């Protein structure tokens, strides 16, 4: 999954840097349409069963809709952020997904954390702060008096802010997805199927309401027509093939993520998953240096090391879960088996009770 995340960043950054193309709406539509074909259609019986008893299962269906809505907006914001800031800061600042995941897990999954878990969270935030300071004290463009440079700097800060917001949405999506795959019968299949069912609908409504669809189609048409003057040269053909390849790489990597993540969350926690996915920063770092000629500052290195230290601190102790019969912290979690309900229990009764508490 870390490799896939790095590949999505590489494809978006390449489209923006080489061709000035940022088509987040069309890319999301392509991803969720593929999810419909791959996951929703083969599992249509599960959707029929859900909607046939909508009067009694409307909260369950609403939860899957919220999961899809949060996921769509998280994907939209992170792709849009690539048009404002660099891949290095995107891949590192998204480490803020860890404290967000801890917060949502605390309230939704009733997980309680120990001292070293909190220290690890604080270290991750401190590392992200170092990266922000790196942008402030070591901007890539030295001509800070130029108004255009100041505008670009403001755009970078906006991009950093959008990354943090998208991280919060991703954390909510991951924790809610963990909740669904562990407590709902056939949760993995349902999560994938509902992504493919609600996702395209939400994306289409959004890109039509914001007129993003028309602007992105015009951008692609101008690119193909070479800004209005059609060009049949070999170079133009190669550019079209390259753009198609980058988009295909993005869609392929995203599909793999949607395939792997529910399986992972069934056997691990969202916080542990997000901590592990910080290894994507290593691949982003390599891509940033060798492909995009990015420059590293000492603050970036410090931030990266502090984030890695946060991972070590978090794994030094395991969190607890709050039981139904005792308000004290008990039942130490096994990260590979925590929160999985007994397979002998009634899934509908257990899940409905938890949905009532959540909503």
Per-residue pLDDT tens over the stretch 11-37? 987 888 788 888 889 999 999 999 999
What number of other Cβ atoms are within 10 A of residue 319's Cβ? 23
3-state secondary structure of 233: coil
- Under 8 Å between Cβ of 234 and 13: no
Separation CA 96–CA 171 (nearest Å): 9
Percent of the chain with pLDDT over 90: 30
Q: What pLDDT, on a 0 to 100 scale, did the predictor assign at position 96?
A: 80
**The two structure tokens encoding residue 64:** 């899957």
Q: From 123, 61, 133, 114, select the one nearest 96 (Cα to Cα).
A: 123
Would you say residue 349 has pLDDT above 70?
Answer: no
**The two structure tokens encoding residue 156:** 């970078």
Q: What pLDDT, on a 0 to 100 scale, did the predictor assign at position 48?
A: 92
- Under 8 Å between Cβ of 316 and 327: no
Would you say residue 281 has pLDDT above 90?
Answer: no
Q: What pLDDT, on a 0 to 100 scale, did the predictor assign at position 199?
A: 96
Q: What pLDDT, on a 0 to 100 scale, did the predictor assign at position 160?
A: 83
Contacts made by residues 239-248, CB under 8 angstroms, sequence distance 24+: 239/19, 242/18, 242/19, 243/15, 243/19, 243/21, 246/11, 246/12, 246/14, 246/15, 247/11, 247/15, 247/23, 247/27, 247/30
Separation CA 87–CA 21 (nearest Å): 15
**The two structure tokens encoding residue 347:** 């899934």
- One DSSP character per residue, 46-58 reads HHHHHHHTHHHHH
Residue 72: pLDDT band by 50, 70, 90 thresholds? very high
**The two structure tokens encoding residue 90:** 């995107």
Write down the pTM of the prediction: 0.80
Lowest mean pLDDT among 240-244, 262-266, 274-278, 352-356: 352-356
Higher pLDDT, 256 or 284: 256
- Under 8 Å between Cβ of 343 and 167: no
DSSP 39: I
Higher pLDDT, 83 or 214: 214
3-state secondary structure of 320: strand
- Under 8 Å between Cβ of 122 and 295: no
What number of other Cβ atoms are within 10 A of residue 303's Cβ? 25
Q: What pLDDT, on a 0 to 100 scale, did the predictor assign at position 146?
A: 44
Lowest mean pLDDT among 27-41, 46-60, 280-294, 343-357: 343-357
The pLDDT tens digits of the residues spanning 152-182 come to 767 888 888 888 899 999 999 999 999 999 8
The pLDDT tens digits of the residues spanning 104-137 come to 998 888 888 888 888 888 887 787 777 667 766 7
Percentage helix, strand, coil, to 5, in the chain? 80, 5, 20
Separation CA 339–CA 191 (nearest Å): 17
Separation CA 162–CA 157 (nearest Å): 9
Q: What pLDDT, on a 0 to 100 scale, did the predictor assign at position 282?
A: 63
What number of other Cβ atoms are within 10 A of residue 13's Cβ? 23
């Amino acid at each position: 999954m870390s490799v896939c995340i790095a590949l999505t960043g590489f494809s978006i950054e390449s489209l923006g840097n080489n061709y000035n193309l940022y088509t987040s709406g069309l890319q999301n539509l392509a991803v969720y349409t593929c999810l419909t074909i791959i996951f929703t259609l083969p599992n249509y019986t599960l959707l029929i069963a859900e909607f046939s008893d909508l009067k009694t299962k409307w909260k369950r269906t609403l939860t899957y809709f919220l999961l899809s809505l949060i996921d769509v907006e998280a994907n939209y914001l992170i792709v849009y952020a690539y048009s404002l800031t660099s891949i290095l800061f995107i891949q590192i600042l998204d480490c803020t997904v860890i404290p967000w995941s801890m917060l949502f897990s605390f309230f939704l999954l009733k997980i309680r954390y120990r001292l070293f878990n909190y220290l690890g969270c604080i270290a991750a935030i401190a590392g992200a702060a170092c990266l922000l300071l790196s942008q402030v004290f070591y901007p890539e463009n030295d001509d800070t008096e130029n108004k255009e440079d100041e505008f670009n700097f403001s755009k970078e800060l906006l991009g950093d802010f959008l990354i943090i917001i998208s991280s919060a949405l991703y954390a909510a999506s991951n924790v809610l997805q963990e909740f669904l795959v562990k407590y709902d019968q056939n949760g993995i299949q349902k999560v994938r199927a509902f992504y493919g069912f609600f996702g395209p609908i939400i994306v289409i409504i959004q890109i039509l309401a914001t007129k993003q669809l028309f602007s992105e189609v015009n951008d692609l048409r101008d690119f193909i027509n070479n800004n209005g003057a059609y060009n049949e040269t070999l170079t133009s053909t190669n550019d079209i093939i390259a753009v198609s390849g980058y988009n295909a790489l993005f869609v392929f990597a995203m599909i793999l993520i949607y395939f792997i993540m529910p399986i992972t969350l069934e056997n691990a926690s969202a916080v542990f998953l997000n901590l592990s996915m910080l290894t994507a920063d290593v691949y982003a770092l390599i891509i940033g240096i060798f492909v995009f000629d990015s420059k590293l500052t000492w603050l970036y290195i410090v931030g990266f090391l502090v984030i890695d230290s946060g991972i070590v601190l978090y794994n030094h102790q395991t969190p607890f879960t709050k039981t139904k019969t005792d308000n004290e912290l008990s039942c130490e979690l096994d990260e590979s088996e925590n929160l999985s309900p007994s397979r002998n229990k009634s899934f509908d009764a257990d899940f409905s009770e938890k949905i009532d508490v959540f909503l």
